[in-house]
Amino acid sequence: MTVTLEEAARAAFRSAFDGEPTILAEAPGRVELLGNHTDHNDGLVLAAAIDLSTVVVGRPRPGPVARVWSAIKGAGDSFDVGDIGRQPPKDWRNYHRGVCWALAGAAGPLVEGFDAAIVGDVPLGGGLSSSASLQGAMALFLLHAGLLSRSEETGLDDLDDRARLALARLLRRSENEFVGVQSGPLDQFTSLFGRRDHALTLDCRSFEYERLPLGDPPPAVVVCDTKDPHELADGMYNRRRAECERAVAYFRRQRGADRVSSLRDVTLDDLDAARDALDPVAFRRARHVLTENARVAAGAAALRDGDVAAFGALMSASHASSRDDFENSSPALEALIAAAGSSPGFLGGKLTGAGWAGCTVNLVAPGHADAFKASVRDRYRSATGTDPDIHVCHAAQGAHGRALR
Ligand code: GLA
C-alpha cells in the first residue's frame, strides 16, 4: 500500500471521530484476465488482484452503535450492530452493513459497535470491483478488531486459504442477498486470494483454485478507463444471465434437468450440434461462455509454461468473443482496445468486468509501461476526444489487516 492511502485513512478517521484508529485493513480491486461472464455460468476464471485498494481503519466502540465515515462517498452512516438486517438502506451503505450482516450470521453477533473510516483509490464504477475491495477490507477490519463473537470457533480468524474461501462466499452472499446485486464469485475471491505478481484461476463450480506466476520479471497490468459516462448496466448483466439460462433450459429439456444444471454440463460439440434448434442469441452467448472456459484452461497452461505472449494472445481472443458473441463491448471500449493494440509492449488486452462501459486490461511487456501509457492516451484522445485514465498496475497481494501503533 502507498503510505498515502494509510495516511489518508488515519486523517479521515481523526477528522470524523476523536482519537486514533487501532486496526487497519486493506483489500485490492481486481482485473479479470480471462473468463468474461463465465463465473455466473459455473465456469472457469483467471484474474488478478491489483495495487489499487480500499483501506478501512477503525477501532471497537463500547455499546451497540457502529459509525462509518466514507471519505470515498464524503458521507457517514451509523447503525445498531444488533439490528442490521431490519431495514436495508438501498444505497452505498448497503455494502459495509451487508458485510456486518453476513459475518454476524456466520460467526456470531458483533460483540460491540465500532468507528471506522474508509478511503480508497479503486475507481468507482469502472469494473475493477471497488465494491468487493470495500467488502474485503471491512471484513478483515471486523476480524482483526475481534468484533465477531464466534470467529475463533468458526476458524474465520485464521485467514488461511480455507477461511478466505469461506469469507469469499459470505461476501458474495452479502452482495447477492443483502445488496441485491446478482454477481458471481469472481470479485470477492480475487480480492481475498490475490498474490503479488501472480494470477489466480478459479473453478466456479468446484471452487478449486491455483495461483500462477505471471513471469519474472512480470508484465505490467495496465488498466485503461474509457471514462465513458454510461453506467455499467445492471439491466444488461441480468439480461445476459437470462440469455445464458435459455441455452441451459434447452439442454435440460433435451437431456433431463438432473443432467444439466449449468453451461458447465454442455460441451462445444453439444452446442454446435444444437445450433439449428437453439435461438441464435442464446447460441452465441453460450458459445462465448464455453470458448472462454477453454481459453482460461489454455491460459493457465500458458502461464505454467511461462509463455506470457501466448497468454496475451488469449486475452485478445477473449475480447473478440465478448464483442462478437456476448455483445458486451461498446464504441469507447473498442477505441481503447484499438489504441492499445498499436502501442509499444502490448501483449494482449480485453474489456474487464461486466462490460458496456468501464475499463480494459492489458498485459504490457516489462519496461514498456510508460511508453504504452503515453501512446494509448494519444491514440484514444485523437479517436474519441476523451482523455482516458490509465493505471499502470501490478498483480497484488490479497486482503490483509494489522494492528496500528
Ligand atoms: C462483473 C461481476 C463478476 C463477473 C463479471 C463478468 O464484474 O461482478 O462477478 O460476472 O462482471 O465476468
User: Ligand 1: which of 134, 135, 176, 186 to mutate, most ligand atoms within 8 Å of CB?
Assistant: 186
> Which residue lies with its CA nearest to atom 7 of ligand 1?
353
- The string of pLDDT tens digits covering residues 337-360 is 999 999 999 999 999 999 999 999
- The answer, yes or no, to whether residue 125 has pLDDT greater than 90, is no
Q: Which of 273, 274, 269, 272 is nearest to 250 (CA)?
A: 274
Looking at this protein, which amino acid is placed at residue 338? A
Q: Which of 85, 77, 76, 81 is nearest to 63 (CA)?
A: 81
Candidates 30, 31, 32, 204: which one to mutate for ligand 1, based on the most atoms within 8 Å of Cβ?
A: 32
Nearest to 45 by CA among 30, 23, 58, 29: 30
Between the CA of 26 and the centroid of ligand 1 the distance, in Å, is: 21
Which tens digits make up the pLDDT trace of 11-58?
A: 999 999 989 999 999 999 999 999 999 999 999 999 999 999 999 999
The number of the ligand 1 atom at minimal distance from the alpha carbon of 38 is 12
Local structure of residue 176 (DSSP, 8 states): I
Q: Is 126 in the pocket of ligand 1 (CB under 6 A)?
A: no
Specify the higher pLDDT residue, 366 or 126: 366
Q: Verify whether residue 269 is a known catalytic residue.
A: no
Spatial neighbors of 379 by CB under 8 A, at least 6 apart, are 338, 339, 342, 343
Q: Does residue 343 have its Cβ closer than 6 Å to ligand 1?
A: no
Residues in the chain: 405
> Which string of b and e fits 372-398 if b means at least 16 CB within 10 Å?
bbebbbebbeeebebebebbebbbbbb
Mean pLDDT of all residues in the chain? 95
The answer to whether residues 359 and 128 touch, using CB atoms and an 8 Å cutoff, is yes
User: Distance between CA 151 and CA 63 in Å, rounded?
Assistant: 19
Residue with cell 466514507: 70
Taking the centre of ligand 1 as the mean of its atom positions, its distance from the CA of residue 31, in whole angstroms, is 10
Element (H, E) at 388: none
pLDDT at 293 (0 to 100): 98
Residue 13, CB-side half-sphere exposure with 13 Å CA sphere: 24
Asked if the model's pLDDT at residue 233 lies above 80, the reply is no
Q: Whose CA is nearest to atom 2 of ligand 1?
A: 183
User: Distance (Å, rounded) from C-alpha 105 to C-alpha 41?
Assistant: 27
- pLDDT at residue 2 in the model: 57
pTM equals 0.94
Which of the residues 51, 115, 187, 225 is marked catalytic? 187
pLDDT, position 89: 83
Which of 183, 192, 234, 350 for a ligand 1 pocket mutation test, highest count of atoms within 8 Å of Cβ? Answer: 183
pLDDT digits (tens, 9 = 90+) for 163-194: 999 999 999 999 999 998 888 899 999 999 99
Residue to mutate (ligand 1; options 30, 31, 39; most atoms within 8 A of CB): 39
CA-36 nearest atom, ligand 1: 12
Cα–Cα distance for residue pair 48/300, rounded to 1 Å: 13
Q: Which atom of ligand 1 is nearest to the CA of 237?
A: 11
- Residue 56: the pLDDT is 98
What residue's CA is closest to ligand 1, atom 11? 354
Q: Does the CB atom of residue 77 touch ligand 1 within 6 A?
A: no
Query: Could you tell me if 54 and 92 are in contact, meaning their C-beta atoms sit under 8 angstroms apart?
Result: no
H/E stretch holding 170 reads: helix 161-173
Q: Is the CB of 32 under 6 A from ligand 1?
A: yes
Q: Could you report the per-residue pLDDT of 298-309, keeping only the tens digit for each?
A: 999 999 999 999
Q: What is the pLDDT of residue 231?
A: 67
Does pLDDT of 1 surpass 60?
no
Reported as a single tens digit per residue, the pLDDT across 78-116 is 999 998 876 778 899 999 999 999 999 999 999 999 999
pLDDT higher for 333 or 182?
A: 333
Ligand 1 center from residue 187 Cα (angstroms): 7
Does ligand 1 lie within 6 Å of residue 353's CB atom? yes
Would you state the pLDDT for residue 90? 85
Cβ atoms within 10 Å of 54's Cβ, excluding its own: 31
Place 124 in a pLDDT band, splitting at 50, 70 and 90. confident
Contacts of 194 (CB under 8 A, 6+ apart): 28, 30, 48, 49, 50, 200, 395, 396, 397, 398, 399
For position 232, what pLDDT does the model report?
A: 59
d(CA 358, CA 223): 10
- Between the CA of 126 and the centroid of ligand 1 the distance, in Å, is 12
Q: Which of 196, 198, 197, 199 is nearest to 186 (CA)?
A: 199
Of 54, 61, 51, 2, which Cα lies nearest the Cα of 25? 54
Given a contact cutoff of 8 angstroms between Cβ atoms, the answer to whether 202 and 189 are in contact is yes
Note whether 279 and 248 are within 8 A (CB). Answer: no
Q: 371-396 pLDDT, tens per residue?
A: 999 999 999 999 999 999 999 999 99
- How far apart (Å, rounded) are the C-alpha atoms in residues 203 and 331? 31
Question: With a 6 A CB cut-off, is 132 part of the ligand 1 pocket?
Answer: no
Burial code of 140-169, b = ≥16 C-beta within 10 A, e = fewer?
A: bbbbbbebbeebeeeebbebeeebbbbbbb
354 CB near ligand 1 (under 6 Å): yes
pLDDT bin (cut points 50, 70, 90) of residue 3 is low
Owner of C-alpha cell 458483533: 110
**128's grid cell:** 475493477
Q: 291 with 268: CB under 8 angstroms?
A: yes
